[in-house]
Amino acid sequence: MANIDQARLRAVLTWPYAASAVFRLVPIESDKVPTMAVDPLWRLYYSPTYLESLSVQDAAGVILHEVGHLVRRHHKRARPIGVTDFEEWNSATDAEINGSYLDEGIKLPGDCVTPEALDLERGHIAETYYRQLMDAKEKKEQQDDDENGQGSGDAGDQGGRGRGGRRSP
């Protein structure tokens, strides 16, 4: 069971050159965040229940992960590439961070998003992952539309797009 102070200290001991970034974070306990999250103002929102479910080492890895979003400026990199699906962008940025951290030997919780978990190759940046995820999503939607008889062919076709909700890739 970890608390925020233990996790921050372990994060600094794990990755000393991130010390100024870790200590710049302003921890805010929140029941609206299921795990941890940061905003561009360097506020670290965390669920005490989630934090207590982690070992101190895993909690430190999650804090370093959140620092990764900030130092890699993911919040600013989305606009220039025209991100429209922020759920997929978050997956892409998580894969970028976690793939590189695992390569460096930083311990992360077992359920973290990795390139491999998304059927992607490790070693790329978020922009590449985002495009690959969006391409796969579009291909899946097209296949689903074709299977449901909504593909091209008749005059009543709506451009090959179904009207259903979001489909999982």
Amino acid at 132: Q
The residues spanned by each domain of the chain are 4-141
Q: Which of 6, 123, 15 is nearest to 71 (CA)?
A: 15
Domain 4-141 has CATH 1.20.58: no
Q: What pLDDT does residue 154 have? A: 45
Q: How far apart are CA 34 and CA 46, in angstroms?
A: 8
Q: What pLDDT does residue 145 have? A: 79
DSSP codes joined into one string, 8-33: HHHHHHHSGGGHHHHHH-EEEE-SS-
Chain centre to alpha carbon of residue 53: 20
Q: What pLDDT does residue 151 have? A: 56
Q: What pLDDT does residue 105 have? A: 93
Query: Mean pLDDT, consecutive 10-residue segments, the chain of 169 residues?
Result: 93 96 98 96 97 96 98 96 96 97 93 95 97 95 80 45 31
DSSP codes joined into one string, 81-114: GT---HHHHHHHHHHHHHHHHHHTT----TT---
